A and B are shown apart, each in its own frame.
Chain A
């Protein structure tokens, strides 16, 4: 009548205890899902607000292209750091990890430089809804980058411990790499929305074009 074999849960360790690395990986995917929902809703709100008659677009500061290049570089460095960590190549890992973190930090600096350029051009937070969305969206994305840098510093600290075994700590670097790629994708979509989306496109999407 009943099955005598145990259908094992696929995620448990040989001892029956859960694997912390897999759990962290799952949690990161979930967080990416939450953050994707968050930014998607903001973009929908941006598009809906754009339909109002007082909308006037703002010119994107050139610094955003530098920011984009820095985030692409950061993503590549972190990817490389992840693969070298898995391979156990500690000599290459450290510079790649540092470069990945530095590129992300420089991204935040470049974004602030872009903000300064807009402020100098008298484009302020409350003056124009396009500017309001620009500052809020870039700030929230920047906060996600800073959060990533906190996780990055924890990974770097784990790797610099004297007794650290590289393969055992490699998963932290891989998770950082995954998050860096996510930050890049979010930024690419945000930048495209901020620079390219127009009220005409929104009206077309809503069937009123």
Chain B
């Protein structure tokens, strides 16, 4: 419900019971925590699965319960959980829900009931996905890309129930994302407070806003392919399934095109990278600016870069299919479009670095994670330039080089932003500060650990170590040193996985024992820090909505009493965005 006039405000009573306040809640802040909590829980499952995979790669044959079938199930579920159910849900459902209304000066999302439904439908999709661990044959082991024909044929783990539950879960997830996405975009377009023009919105909102538009336009491709594969599996249609002999039996399928699935999947799959990356770009921009006490460099170019990256992300999908075979001109087109994306992305990196230059850098925990993101994203982005070229991609595509690349660029880098963002906004969400010592310990272990895991993988990839293999024993081209390196990576991965419990413990411990947070502990300018109460109450702003007079980056303005000017301070306080200065 939105509020057409002030009478409506009186009708919109604050929920009183535990159920309506914390469970069946329509408050965007509660829904954000529900989304975030569920995503983190399911993310822990994904983390455990990755450690189980590493046990097999590092110490093959030692853990007998990890047979080939289970290994592929772990790989598949780890990938899908991390990309869709953790990162997408956390950035859009978690950060999007919490930050959009507070940062644009709104009381809530414009459709709170639909927002609530979005979370519960997301939860249903998670339950269906988790249920696949308990069905006959277990979850699907088709790889997170679920390529047909093997995804639904005997011989692939979870080919029967597992793949059906995976597809059903994805379709449910897309319904949830669409309900949430319509809400986020409409709220940004229609519920900004007085003075909050689009070009005064913090970059976090810009990143989430454009990522949500990408999600609304890209997820239909996954929906279409999911529906068709489900029908191929359950009702014997031949959308994707060619005529073939499976296990000595002629299947009833004929004429279907597996390549059609790949096109549809990657038409969703590549924008998905930016559905995760753009919110991270936005949040990092805000964190850098606040913790370096300096206006973000080139705000407008940052906005345009987000928009251009979003648009370009729809015309690069086939670079994931170079090894599937295509007309050389297609390959040329997709390689070129892929490399062009590096231009706006590089502009963003330059602007982040130029924001830091001569900034008053505070090495707080959020800032440490932000700086780590810059290095990690740069590293992952540069290896992307290698893989964007057809002739370099083809020999590297099947190796650990790709595993290293995509984990650095869309696994570790966005997760560092998730951590940085939560350390930054936790005081507003809970009214308590997170413990700094635990935060720094968590940071250093995570930052160094991820580099110790993924840097050697580049080397293993160049060495030719194939990805997707269950067992590397008996291949003469893989030297003993590679096996030792794999053991090393596994040990670090186990340690890093266990160390994440420091973070979970910190989240829970600080809820009760954390230092009480002031309303604006980082001395930031954006609106969410100026709610009448911390944590913000129902409807956020008390009787009157805020009025905004400047952008969110008015730091260290000459003549100003403090080193920041809130967005809602009177216009006479100065600090207007560059376009307003004369």
Contact = CB atoms under 8 A, between A and B. Distances in A.
Nearest to A9: B192
A7 B190 contact: no
Interface in B319-368: none
A23 B2 contact: yes
Nearest to A51: B257
Contacts of B197: 7, 9
A49 interface: yes
A37 to B, nearest CB: 5
Contacts of A6: 194-195, 547-549, 571
B5 A15 contact: yes
Interface stretch (A27-35, A95-103, A105-113, A188-196): A27-35
A165 to B, nearest CB: 13
Contacts of A129: 237-239, 255-256
A42 B235 contact: no
Interface stretch (B13-21, B396-404, B526-534, B572-580): B572-580
Contact of B110 (A7, A16, A20, A48): A20
B110 A132 contact: no
Nearest to B1: A20
Contacts of B547: 6, 16
A3 B572 CA distance: 9
A38 B220 contact: yes
A20 B4 contact: yes
A14 to B, nearest CB: 8
Interface stretch (B260-268, B458-466, B494-502, B516-524): B260-268
A125 B234 CA distance: 12
Nearest to B200: A7
A21 interface: yes
A17 interface: yes
A42 B581 CA distance: 50
Nearest to B261: A45
A41 B264 CA distance: 8
Interface string B219-260: 011011001100100011111000100000000101111001
Contact of B217 (A13, A31, A33, A52): A33
B581 A2 contact: yes
A128 to B, nearest CB: 9
Contact of A49 (B190, B217, B256, B549): B256
A53 B550 CA distance: 62
A12 B194 contact: yes
Interface string A46-62: 00110011110000000
A205 to B, nearest CB: 15
Contacts of A16: 193-194, 544-545, 547
Q: Which 5 A-B pairs have the closest CB atoms?
A: A54-B255, A2-B576, A38-B220, A17-B3, A126-B236
Interface of A: 1-4, 6-9, 11-13, 15-23, 26-27, 30-31, 33-34, 37-38, 41-42, 45, 48-49, 52-55, 125-126, 129, 132, 136, 140
8 contacts: A3-B571, A13-B4, A17-B9, A18-B3, A27-B110, A37-B216, A41-B264, A126-B237
Interface of B: 1-6, 8-9, 106-107, 110-111, 178, 182-183, 185-187, 189-197, 216-217, 220-221, 223-224, 227-228, 231, 235-239, 243, 252, 254-257, 260, 263-264, 267, 544-545, 547-550, 571-572, 574-576, 580-582
